[in-house]
Amino acid sequence: MEESLPNRDRIPAHVAIIMDGNGRWAESRGISRLRGHRAGLQRVRDVLRASNDLGIQYLTLYAFSLENWNRPKTEVDGLMSLLIEYMERELNEVDRNGIRVRAIGRLDRLPGRVQKAVENAIERTRENSEMTLTFALSYGGRAEIVDAARKMVLDAERGTLLPKSIDEKTFRDYLYDPTLPDPDLLIRTGAEVRVSNFLLWQIAYAEIHNTNVMWPDFQKQNLVDAILDYQGRERRFGMTGSQVREGGS
C-alpha cells in the first residue's frame, strides 16, 4: 500500500513533542529505565532529521520537566549525562544543517556542566536560520508563567513597564523565549492524554495528536501520521468554519 504523504504547503511551522514512554518501553523489555532514555535519545536524532526533511521550522522537545527532578537520583544523573552527550556528539551535525539550538526552562537549576554544554550549543548555533530546535529543560509551564509575572513586576517597580500597557503581546515578551512562535501541533507519545505542564501559554490553539507508540519506537512515519492528522483538521481559532474558508474575515 502506498503511504500518504503530507501536503508540503501545509506543514506545521512549529511542532512540540512530549516524548513519553521511555520507562515503560524499557520495563517491558526487562532493561533499565536509563536504557529506555538512551533509546529515546536515538529517536531525538531521527526525529530532528525527519523534521528538517519535512520542512518543519521549529521543533520543541520536552526533555526534562521540573517534576522530573523528583525522580531517583540515578535516573536524574543519567538523563543529565545523556543531555551532555547529545549536546557534544550531535552539535556538528546540527550546526552543519543550519539548525539553531535554544533552551527554555529554569536552566539555572541544571548542574554546571549541563549548563555549559547547553550554552555552548546555543552559542555555536546562534546564527543558524534553517530550523530551530528548542529543548525544554527543567521546564514547567506554570513556572514559566510565574517567572514571567515576576519579571513584569520588577519592570513595573523600575518604571519600565506600565501596568495598563500589559496585554497578551507584552506578556509573551516575558516568556522564556519570546521569539518562539506558538506550536501548531503538539504530539504526545506513550499512550497518555495529558498536557503535563508543557507550554501552557503557547498551546492555546495547538492541535493535539496522541499516539500509543512509546517514544523509543517513534519513527518518521509516526511523525508523518501526526502531520496528516493535523492537515485533516480545520483550525478555526474561534471563528466559524465558513469564516475560515472565506479567508478569516
Choice from 21, 78, 105, 183 touching ligand FPP (CB under 6 A):
21
Report the residue number, 64 or 174, with the smaller CB distance to ligand FPP: 64
- Which residue minimizes CB distance to ligand FPP? 23
What is the enclosing helix (H) or strand (E) of 99?
A: strand 99-104
Q: Is 19 in the site for ligand FPP (CB under 6 A)?
A: yes
Report the residue number, 83 or 186, with the smaller CB distance to ligand FPP: 83
Backbone angles phi, psi at 60, to 5 degrees: -120, 125
Q: How far is the CB of 197 from ligand FPP (least distance, A)?
A: 12
Q: Is 172 in the site for ligand FPP (CB under 6 A)?
A: no
Distance of CA 213 to the CA centre of its chain: 18
Hey, is 101 helix, strand or coil? strand
Give the active site residue among 68, 97, 120, 128: 68
Q: Which residues contact 68 (CB under 8 A, 6 or more apart)?
A: 76, 79
Q: What angle do CA 227, 230, 234 make, to 5 degrees?
A: 155
The pattern of x and - marking residues 22 through 61 that bind ligand FPP according to CB under 6 A reads xxx------------x--xx--x-----------------
The pattern of x and - marking residues 220 through 249 that bind ligand FPP according to CB under 6 A reads ------------------------------
Q: Nearest CA to 195 among 141, 139, 138, 135?
A: 141
Give catalytic status of residue 68 as yes or no.
yes
C-alpha cell at 244: 475560515
Q: How far is the CB of 72 from ligand FPP (least distance, A)?
A: 11
Residues 204-223 that bind ligand FPP (CB under 6 A): 215
Q: Nearest CA to 115 among 105, 128, 100?
A: 105
Q: Is 68 in the site for ligand FPP (CB under 6 A)?
A: yes
Q: Nearest CA to 106 among 65, 58, 134, 76?
A: 65
Report the residue number, 24 or 172, with the smaller CB distance to ligand FPP: 24
Residues 69-108 that bind ligand FPP (CB under 6 A): 82-83, 86
Can you tell me the distance from the alpha carbon of 229 to that of 219, in angstroms, rounded to the nearest whole number? 16
User: Which stretches of 106-140 are DSSP H helices?
Assistant: 112-124
List, by residue number, the catalytic residues.
20, 68
Given the rule CB under 6 A, which residues bind ligand FPP?
19-24, 37, 40-41, 44, 63-64, 68, 82-83, 86, 190, 215
